[in-house]
Structure 1
Amino acid sequence: MDGNQTPRMRINAEREGDVLVLTLDYPARRNALAVPLRTELEAALEKAQSDGTRCIVLTGAEGIFSAGGDISGMNVETALEGRERMRRTHRLVRLMARGNVPIIAAVEGWAAGAGCSLALLCDHVVAAEDAKFVLGFHKIGLMADLALPMTLPARIGLGRARDMMLFHTQYTGAQALNIGLVDAVAPKGQALSAAMEKARALAAEAPLPIAYMKQWFSDEMEAALAKESDWQAALFATSDHKEGREAFLGKRKPVFAGR
């Protein structure tokens, strides 16, 4: 890419019958969830609620699901700015968790940090055997978000969830299947094909019971999102987050002071 060109950042949408495939396509940052990308994903998901889509498959371009948040774009200086960022983010979270259309994640490569959060907001997760799931929020002075403090323990139990959050324990797709972090595995490069097979089957089912099921399973989410909004907004304004962000971009080890 020429130094004067804007990096490609978009959501690719392709339809196969009643199934809509949405692909995160931001290769310059390994499909990191930059704010414009989240906004475009939200718009695509909103449109799918009323255009006849019966199932959505969410994946990432160029063999990577998502490397997490786009740290280069985390220019949040105050708690108020942090709350506004979380308010916008939670529109996407609610749409994925409480929308009417089921979503299947097809994970190749990294599902790191917020990328892991995004995958677990889906109703079913298919991962390549060598996919990599890892968290690292504390390394930049933040807590896990996009409802991960709720969705992760629900899948793997509180003990393993704490271990992933505190010590950044990494799981491959095959290991993730053994602990319930994902629902199915496929050979490398075949996660999307496997997810599409599941999506075609789901698209043939009655849509209304599925929509009600999604509502039932996400009923307790609002209280969790309220805490997340308050606490993450406060963390965005800390010196430790600024240090973590600068250390990451400068490729050095952060030195945290607890403030």
Structure 2
Amino acid sequence: MSDAVIVERDGPVALVRLNLPSKRNALVPELVMALTAVLDALAVDRCVRALVLTGNGGAFCAGGDMGSMDGDDPLGVTAMMRACQGIVRRLVSLPKPVVAAVEGAAFGAGFSIALACDLVVVEPGSRFCAAFGKVGLMPDLGLLWSLPQRVPMGRARELLMLCEVLGGEAALAERVADILAPEGGVLAAAMARAMRLADASPGTVAAVKSALAAWPQGLGELLRAEEVGQAMLMATADHGAARAAFFAKGTVRFEGR
């Protein structure tokens, strides 16, 4: 198993660390393969109820690997793009909440990966930039989808075209980020929020993520998704326990069943 990605456990929360600090956790093939394998394993691990994604060495993720961007090898570029896109697909479709703990830079595809998570925690020294234009490329890994969900379309155009850098405080003010932690406290804040999410109803979290992943859908499609999802959730043991606790004026511990 590659040490490009390290997984630590704290009860129901898995802490996933990108661990190529010499490359500022850029998306080199080794890291992409390791992170893909980790996400697949955690998706089916019933002991894990929430994830925190962060980067070692003072950077979240510096983005794509310039060394693998060979315009003379379009098939190779396409294969690498699809592998990287698989990470975003997994983060968005994972039936468990994912909190991004952004220390340092989340540039280019690193920005995309952070916004593919459900919540983004930053500190004042965090930095976001859709830096694609600086190397003559277009935003990728879903950033054209995820950023307009957080900021108005006009502002998204500016950030995507002008490569403006947002610090942690500005990211919070513009709702690119959700929580601002004190300097050095981003990981603790992210773990605390992940612990809260781990206590939530797993079925509810999965259903919300699934519905939002289809954004923007029409009202008709959304209502049909509600019909299917709600019927499935009402048949779960978690809902039965919560319903009994409601009438007994008690509390419930969700077990993911």
TM-score (norm 1): 0.79
Q: What is residue 251 of structure 2 aligned with on the other side?
A: none
Residue number among 212, 218, 232 corresponding to 1:217 in the alignment: 212
Superposition map of 1:12-91 within 5 A:
12-52=6-46, 53-91=48-86
Deviation at 1:74, TM superposition (A): 2.4
Partner SS for 2:121: strand
Return the structure number with greater relative CO, CA threshold 8 A, min gap 6.
Answer: 1
| Aligned equivalents of 1:15, 1:178: Cα separation in 2 | 32
Residue deviations 1:162-184 (CA, integer Å, cap 9, x gap): 11111111111111111110000
SS in 2 for 1:156: coil
> Does residue 11 of structure 1 match 2:8?
no
Measured on the aligned residues, the alpha-carbon RMSD in Å equals 1.7
* Consecutive unaligned residues in structure 2, runs of 5 or more: 217-257
Return the letter of the residue paired with 1:47: A
Greater C-alpha radius of gyration: 2
Question: In the TM superposition, what are the counterparts of 1:24-173 in structure 2 within 5 Å?
Answer: 24-52=18-46, 53-173=48-168
Identity value in percent: 38
Answer yes or no: is the 8 Å Cα contact 2:58–2:103 preserved in 1: yes
Deviations 1:106-131 (A, max 9, x none): 01111111111110000000001221
Give the secondary structure class of the aligned counterpart of 2:150: helix
CA distance in 2, matches of 1:140, 1:129: 26
Runs of 4+ in 1 over 6 A off after TM superposition: none
SS class of match (1:187): coil
The letter of the residue matching 2:90 is L
Aligned length: 215
Q: What residue in structure 1 maps to residue 200 of structure 2?
A: 205
Query: Could you tell me whether the CA contact under 8 Å between 1:108 and 1:188 is conserved in 2?
Result: no
In structure 2, the CA distance between the partners of 1:156 and 1:22, relative to structure 1 (3 Å rule), is: same
Using the alignment, how far apart are the partners of 2:98 and 2:29 within structure 1? 21
* 1:161 CA displacement: 1.1
Aligned to 2:220: none
1:23 Cα offset (Å): 0.5
